[in-house]
Amino acid sequence: MVMSVVGVVAACLYSFQLLLGVIVVVFAVETVHVVMLNRLRAGLDHARDERRDLVADVAIPPVEPAFGRSPVAQFRLLVGGCVIVAAALATGVFLIFPRPSDAGLVALGTRTGFSPTVDLTRSDQIEQSNREVLTVQWSDPQGVSIQWPQPLRLRGAVLDRWNPTNRRWIAAETRRFRRTVTTSGDPEDFMPLGVEPVDRSLYTQTVTMRSLATSRVFARWAPVAIACDQARTFTLDPANLEIEDNLGGGLDRFATYRLKIAPNPTPETIASIAGDAIPPVRPPRFDVPGVREEALRILEERAPELLEPAPVGDG
């Protein structure tokens, strides 16, 4: 019984399927049933053992399992106690284990999901999980699924600002150059992110959300067009090609979006996506004492080697 409970709890932490929730409810009802039957059997065996050891002048009838209406009243308290204990345990598990919150609240000091910041002051332990958060399918220009020879490094946020006050890496909050792209709801209808038409020689990245619900779009460099199975409005930051669904609500679970990717984009492609107003390049700031001095020291040591002219072959 204990091992079965452990197995069900482990399955709950691993999966997010609705069918498993139904199985858990059936398992809880059956657990109460088995506990009651075990209690009845243990009481019957105990009573038989006591009757067997008694010495009486008259014959003692054997103990038989109770039947009729009396067991209902007899074990009503047991059933009520089992229900209360099960509800208390379920509530405790619901409160203890982290889960995404639409209100942005943090349960018991924990944080789950995708966060577009890096906080160096938090001492929370990062826990490993086998839960499937999303699936990625990579297809060649002909639409055939392939395995890319290199790791698919997907970007969800670009952190280019260091806040020395609270020691956080954050993303720029400027919306001056951002623009929106609206999808039609057809996963085959790609909306270009720039002014150039969608080229047929591009690769296709298909992302299906699983246990993660977020407004961020995870894309490999460089996204050229986007499509979604739902009509949504996406915001594009041309400075870093960061895409976010912050106008039509976050991408919920089981939502699927597709991206046309140019693995080696040309400057013309980047300029097409950035549009006429290309934002100025803002170098990342990391105002930590000693970093600049160490960088200058390394540069001075390597300067002769770096500035040495390349050898010219015999003509």
77 within domain boundaries: yes
- Mean predicted confidence (pLDDT) in 90-97: 68
pLDDT per position as a tens digit, 153-208: 898 888 878 888 888 888 776 666 788 899 998 999 999 998 788 888 899 999 99
Please list, in sequence order, all residues whose beta carbon lies within 8 angstroms of the beta carbon of residue 12, skipping any fewer than 6 positions away: 20, 24, 93
313 within domain boundaries: no
Structural domain containing residue 73: 2-96
> Residue 191 belongs to what H/E stretch?
strand 191-192
153 within domain boundaries: yes
CB 16 within 8 A of CB 253: yes
Domain closes at, from 44, 71, 96? 96
Same domain, 51 and 167: no
Only one residue has tokens 């709801």, namely 185
**246 or 149, higher pLDDT:** 149
Q: What is the model's pLDDT at position 207?
A: 94
Q: What is the model's pLDDT at position 66?
A: 59
> Which pair of structure tokens corresponds to residue 242?
């960061």
Domain closes at, from 96, 117, 144? 96
For residue 240, give Cα distances in angstroms to 14, 278, 314: 34, 10, 43
pLDDT per position as a tens digit, 97-138: 655 444 444 444 445 567 778 877 776 656 666 778 889 999
Backbone angles phi, psi at 157, to 5 degrees: -160, 150
Same domain, 157 and 77: no
CB 203 within 8 A of CB 263: yes
Total domains in the chain come to: 2
* CA dist., res. 169 & res. 286, Å (int): 9
| CB atoms closer than 10 angstroms to residue 211 | 19
Same domain, 147 and 256: yes
Same domain, 29 and 150: no
Same domain, 33 and 148: no
Range in 148-152, 219-223, 259-263 the model is least confident about: 148-152
Same domain, 148 and 268: yes
Amino acid (1-letter code) at residue 273? I
Flag whether pLDDT at 245 surpasses 50: yes
Flag whether pLDDT at 280 surpasses 60: no
pLDDT per position as a tens digit, 56-84: 666 666 666 555 555 666 666 777 777 77
> Residue 236 belongs to what H/E stretch?
strand 233-237
The average confidence (pLDDT) of the chain is 75
* CA dist., res. 5 & res. 189, Å (int): 47
Q: What is the model's pLDDT at position 260?
A: 94
Same domain, 20 and 143: no
**223 or 48, higher pLDDT:** 223
Flag whether pLDDT at 248 surpasses 80: no
* CA dist., res. 256 & res. 209, Å (int): 6
- Mean predicted confidence (pLDDT) in 278-283: 56
Residue (of 218, 241, 85) closest to 154 by Cα position: 218
pLDDT per position as a tens digit, 189-198: 999 998 788 8
| pTM score, whole prediction | 0.55
Domain closes at, from 239, 256, 274? 274
Q: What is the model's pLDDT at position 105?
A: 42
205 within domain boundaries: yes
239 within domain boundaries: yes
280 within domain boundaries: no
284 within domain boundaries: no
